[in-house]
Amino acid sequence: MEVRRVIELFGNKRRNTERKKVFVDLEGYGEPGYEQGTCVKAVELRHFTDLKAVTDMVFQDNILIIEMSLFSDGEERRRDAVEAIRAMADDRGGLSSEISDRVMVLTPPGIGIDKCRITRRGM
């Protein structure tokens, strides 16, 4: 098969290789590794004893997304951990919410949680 015919069938990939470069000014941001206050942290809670690390993150005013699908200490201990996390949020003046039976969100004081349901219409 002729080279022109192959290019006609599959297109020339060289056309899309030149892209416009965008300049982003990062001068106003902190140095790499610099904490800028509140941070969103995704945490896997595997054991009840991992609550110590969660407590440390809560007292640093982080927003925590806690995933418990790999919790290995049993269902009753998982429920105890959920209750302990709720109590931590109440003690700090923050909020906690279970997104599902295995995912939980915990926020520091001053940051709300608004659960909303998106429904499809017109489909």
pLDDT at 44: 94
Q: Domains for the chain: give ranges and CATH numbers.
A: 40-107 (3.30.110.150)
Residue pair 85/51 in contact (Cβ under 8 Å)? The answer is: yes
Range 100-118 average pLDDT: 89
Higher-scoring residue by pLDDT: 30, 88: 88
pLDDT at 59: 87
Higher-scoring residue by pLDDT: 121, 41: 41
Structure tokens at 27: 């001068």
Residue 67: left (phi > 0), alpha (psi -120 to 50), or beta? beta
Range 46-52 average pLDDT: 92
- pLDDT, tens only, 54-83: 988 888 888 999 999 999 999 999 999 999
